[in-house]
Chain A
C-alpha cells in the first residue's frame, strides 16, 4: 500500500522532488495563494464591482452616450492602428528575413524601440511634434488640421505603442523558415507579389494572427500614451480606458468597472486565443514564445 502511494506521488512530480512530498504541497499551496491573490482576485473583483448594482444598471451604464462614444472610438482606433502595424510587420519582416544587408540589427532595435519607451513619453513626443507649441503646430493651426486633442493624434500614439507587436512575432518565424520556398517560386516564374501572397503568407498565417491579437489587445487598452494626446474631451476624444478614468474619478465606480469589465473580457479572450494558438500551432509560431 505504501509503495503504491509513493509510486503515485512520484508520477505526480516531473523530476526528482527536491522539496520532498510535504514541501511540494507547501510550495504548490504558496503558489496558488500568490496567483490567487495577485491575478485571480483582481479579475473577479472587476466583475464583482461592475455588477454591484445589479445587471440592469450594468447594461444601462454601458449604454450612456459618452460610454458608447468611447467604445466606438476605441474600436475605430484599433481598426486603423492594427492593420497598419500588421502591414508594417509583414513589410519589415520580409525585408529583414529574405535579404542580407548591413544594419539589420540597428533596424531591429529601432523596431523594438517603442517597447522600452514609457507610455506617457510615447504620447508626449507627438504633442511635441503636432501640439500648438510643437514643430508643426503653427502649420496645422493655419490649415485647421487638428491632430493633438483629436482622433488622428490618438491613432498616432496607438500606432507608436503597438508598432513592434506583429513584426516581433513574424521575424523569428520567417527567419527560421528561410528563403528556399520563395526562391523556388521565383524560379517557377512567380512575381514578387505572387510569391508573397501564395507562398509566404500561408506559411506565417498563425504567427500573424497571434501578433494581431496581441497588437489589438494593447491598442484597445492603451492608456498612458493616449491620455497625453487626448485632451479628454468627453464624447469626442475619450477611448474606453480614458472613460474608465473619468468615471472612476467621478466616484462612479460601478460604471467605471462596467467599462473595465468589457476590457477585462477582451483580455481574457485574448489570453484564451493566445493559449490556443500556442498549444495547437507551436511549430508555426516561431522559435520561442517571446514575451513582449
Chain B
C-alpha cells in the first residue's frame, strides 16, 4: 500500500504557507537577530541599559501595567452591566466596545491629545482643578486605558454569560449575602478570564505607539515610551541600538504571550470547550 490517501493540496498549501511566513515574518526577524548579535554583549548592554532606555522601559511597562489594572476594573463593570441588565441601547453600546480596536491608532492619538489638552473638552474641565493630562504621563495612561479596554470586556463577557444562575441562587438559599455571593461565587469564576483579558490589554499597551505619541509629552526620562525611543534611534541611523531595544521588547512580548496562552488555556479548561 503506497498511496498517501488524503485530500489533495497538502504539499502545495504547506509550502506556500511556510514560504510566505518565511519571507514576511522569519527573514526580517532573522535580520533583527543578526543585527543585534553584531553588537556583541557590551554593545547590547550599552544600548539597552542606558539611563534613557531604562527610563523608557519604566514608563512603557509601568504605565501599561497600571492602565491594564484600571481596564480590568472598568472592563469588569462594563461587561457586568452589559450581560446582566437590559436597557435601551444595549446592543448599540455592545457593538461600540470594539471601537478602540477598530479605530486607527493615529485617529485615536490626535483625538485623545486634543480632548485632554488644556483647551480640550475634557482637559478644559480638569485644568481649573490643577490636573494636567496631556503631555504628561497621565496622558499616556489615558491613551493606554482606551486602547486596552475592549480586551478585558470581550474576555469577561463570555464567562459571565456562562455563569449559571443556579449556583448563585443556591448560594442565596444557603444564606449568603449579596456581597458574599459576589466575592465568593462570581469573582473567582471570572478570575481566569479577567486575568487573561488584563494580560492581553497589557501586551497591547506595552507596544502601543500611534495612540500615545500625540498625547504624551515625549520627554526623555519622564514620558517617553519605548517605541518612540526605537523610532528616534532609527532616525538617527543607530540601527543596532534600535535593534537591541527591539529584541528586549520582543522577549518581553514573548514572555507575556506565554502567560496569556497559559491563562487562556485555564479559561478554556473552565469554560469547557476547545
Interface residues of A (CB under 8 A from B): 12-20, 24, 27-28, 30-32, 34-35, 37-43, 45-46, 49, 88, 91-92, 94-95, 98-99, 101, 107, 110-111, 113-114, 116-121, 124-129, 131, 133-135, 156, 159-160, 163, 179, 182-183, 186, 191-192, 195-196, 214, 217, 220-224, 227-228, 240-242, 244-245, 248, 253, 256-257, 260, 263-264, 267-268, 270-272, 274-275, 287-289, 291-292
Are B154 and A291 in contact (CB-based, < 8 A)?
yes
Contact A271 B254 (CB under 8 A): no
Interface-facing stretch out of B50-58, B131-139, B242-250 = B242-250
A120 to B26, CA, bound (A): 17
Instruction: Return the contact of A292 from the options B101, B104, B114 (Cβ within 8 A).
Output: B101
Do B77 and A253 touch across chains, with their CB atoms under 8 A apart? no
Interfacial residues of chain B within 1-26, with CB under 8 A of chain A in the complex: 6-10, 13-14, 16-18, 20-21, 24-26
B45 contacts across to A, CB distance below 8 A: none
Chain B residues within 8 Å of A228, by CB: 231, 234
Decide if B127 is an interface residue (CB 8 Å cutoff): no
B61 within 8 A of A: no
Q: Is the CB of A15 within 8 A of B168?
A: yes
| B107, A264: Cβ atoms closer than 8 Å | yes
> Is there an interface contact between A127 and B7, defined as CB atoms closer than 8 Å?
no
Total cross-chain contacts (CB, 8 A):
279
Interface SS of chain A: helix, strand, loop or mixed? helix
Q: What does DSSP make chain B's interface, helix, strand, loop or mixed?
A: helix
Q: Are B9 and A196 in contact (CB under 8 A)?
A: yes
Knowing A113-B25, A186-B7, A275-B95 touch, does A118 contact B253 (C-beta < 8 A)? yes
B106→A241 contact, CB < 8 A: yes
Which of B7, B10, B18, B113 has the most C-beta atoms of chain A within 10 angstroms of its own C-beta? B7
Given the complex, which residues of A lie within 8 Å of B108, measured CB to CB?
A: 42
Chain A contacts of B121 at CB under 8 A?
Answer: 41, 45
A18 touches B168 (CB 8 A): yes
Q: Give the contacting residue for A263; candidates B93, B104, B231; CB below 8 A.
A: B104
- Given A13-B86, A40-B96, A120-B231 in contact, is the A27-B80 Cβ separation under 8 Å? yes
Asked whether A260 and B106 contact (CB < 8 A) given A27-B81, A224-B227, the answer is yes
Do B105 and A291 have beta carbons less than 8 Å apart?
A: no
